[in-house]
Amino acid sequence: MTFRILRAFVSLSIVLLTACDRTELPVSPHDSGNLQEASVAMGSDYRWQMYYDLESQQLVGQNLKTVWDLAFDASADGFYISLNSAKLMFAAPVADTALDAVTDTTGFFRARRWDASAGPAYGNAFGDWRGQKPVYWVDGGYDETGIHQGFVKVQLLSVTPQAYTFRFASLQGGPTQYVTLAKDSTYNRVFFSFKSGQPVLVEPPKKSWDLVFTQYTHTFPEEDSTAYLVTGCLLNSPLAAALEDTAFAFESWDYATAGSLSFSTAQDIIGYDWKTFSGLNYIINNKQVYIIRSRSGYLYKLRFVDFYDENGIKGSPRWEYQRL
């Protein structure tokens, strides 16, 4: 009888030990990163576009905003063509499909369009042009000193999984140039300059960055959808996503809370309005918190803390962020 009780006790002990196997112990709490601070210097005239990687905590690219005019979706099935909204560019369709017949801008301002700041899927000046070979006026916008860059007429001819073809000429006169622009899926977009008549390297490879600090065109519905240049932060969309919150304290955000929420891939979800202009200077709203899902899938909380450098010069966004 004693032996049976002992054997039952040993058997029960084995079962309990097996049930508590080391590989089945509860998962330890999520390990958050350290609080980081970073900044970029866009210049007081906002001439630079600056690309930042949250994971490596590094600036991974920068370019003058004036070096390009058009950006072409580089994916195999992509067809969107975007204007350089950092220059306040516009485009308008021309009724006549003969490029040589377009000699002035009569009707342009009534028909002009601009790209939605949320990204091409939300509204695009060129739209879905495939199969039409349309002609457009393109307003070249302004450089950082406010000088207008002139008008160009463009005819979009075709797009394949490998390349775009189009032709363009200055509205002020000059030869028509034919262009075949190859796609490169290493990048989100491939870029083109009317001034040089050549493709230009602008964005870093798409898997190397999360945020770009830049000027861009934004419309205000309360002002009859008037378009203005604003200065802010755009996402590497759709690889990265984010949400904005003003109700929950920055310190209170953690991985469990953030991971249960829905994120937006609108590229302007962070945007420009983390600061307001008082009439004398910019004031930061540090209660405005952004939760970012990086292009690698990591979650970060971020808030802005300044828009001025140590010498009091504007155009240097500074922020703090932490991996959740």
191 and 83 share one domain: yes
123 located within any domain: yes
Residues 84 and 109 occupy one common structural domain: yes
Q: How confident is the model at residue 29 (pLDDT cuts 50, 70, 90)?
A: low
Question: Is the predicted pLDDT of residue 212 greater than 90, yes or no?
Answer: yes
Structural domain includes residue 11: no
> Do 81 and 192 belong to one domain?
yes
Residue 26's pLDDT is 40
Indicate if 78 and 192 belong to the same structural domain.
Answer: yes
Q: Is the pLDDT of residue 196 over 80?
A: yes
Q: Are residues 267 and 218 in the same domain?
A: yes
Q: Which residue has the higher pLDDT, 162 or 261?
A: 162
Number of structural domains (the chain) is 2
The CB-based long-range contact list for 8-12 (8 Å cut-off, 24+ gap) reads none
pLDDT score recorded for residue 224 = 67
Q: Are residues 189 and 111 in the same domain?
A: yes
17/183 Cα distance (integer angstroms):
59
The per-residue pLDDT for range 227-256, each reduced to its tens digit, is: 999 999 999 999 999 999 999 999 999 999
- Check whether 132 has a pLDDT greater than 80: yes
Question: How does pLDDT run across 262-273, given as a tens digit for each residue?
Answer: 999 999 999 999
Proportion of the chain above pLDDT 70, given as a percent:
90
- Say yes or no to pLDDT of 279 above 60: yes
> Is 26 a domain residue?
no
Residues forming a β-bridge with 314:
308
Q: Is residue 8 part of a domain?
A: no
Q: Does residue 245 share a domain with residue 138?
A: no
Task: Say if residue 139's pLDDT is above 90.
Answer: yes
Compute the average pLDDT of residues 148-168: 97
Residue 260: the pLDDT is 85
Q: What is the chain's mean pLDDT, rounded?
A: 90
Determine the structural domain holding residue 213 and report its residue range: 36-63+206-323
pLDDT at 223 (0 to 100): 67
Q: In whole angstroms, give the CA distance from residue 315 to residue 324.
A: 28
Same-domain check for residues 195 and 219: no
Q: Which domain-ending residue is among 200, 216, 250? A: 200
Mean pLDDT across 193-203: 97
| Average pLDDT, integer, range 147-159 | 97
32 versus 47: the higher-pLDDT residue is 47
Q: Provide the residue type at 161 as one letter.
A: P
Contact 218, 118 (CB under 8 A): no
Res 12: pLDDT: 33
| Contacts of 216 by beta carbon, 8 Å cutoff, 6+ apart | 85, 86, 117, 229, 230, 232, 234, 268
Spatial contact of 72 and 84, defined as CB atoms under 8 Å apart: no
Band of residue 111 on the pLDDT scale cut at 50, 70, 90:
very high
pLDDT digits (tens, 9 = 90+) for 288-311: 999 999 999 999 999 999 999 999
For residue 252, being part of any structural domain is answered with: yes
Classify residue 47: in a domain, yes or no: yes
Mean pLDDT within 52-74:
98
Tell me 271's DSSP state: B
Does residue 305 lie within any of the structural domains? yes
Overall average pLDDT of the 173-183 stretch: 95
**Would you state the pLDDT for residue 14?**
33
Mean pLDDT over 104-133 rounds to 94
171 and 223 in one domain?
no
pTM of the model: 0.88
Answer yes or no: is pLDDT of 25 > 70. Answer: no
115 and 163 belong to one structural domain: yes
Give the pLDDT confidence of 64-106 residue by residue, as tens digits: 999 999 999 999 999 999 999 999 999 999 987 789 989 999 9
Q: Are 309 and 28 in contact (CB under 8 A)?
A: no
Looking at the fold, whether 195 and 248 belong to one and the same domain comes out as no
The CA distance from 31 to 26, in Å, is: 15
166 and 289 assigned to the same domain: no
Q: What is the DSSP string of 3-22?
A: HHHHHHHHHHHHHHHHHT-G
| 8 Å CB contact between 273 and 281 | no
Last residue of a domain, one of 154, 171, 200: 200
Of 179, 200, 221, the last residue of a domain is: 200
Asked, for residue 111, whether it belongs to a domain, the answer is yes
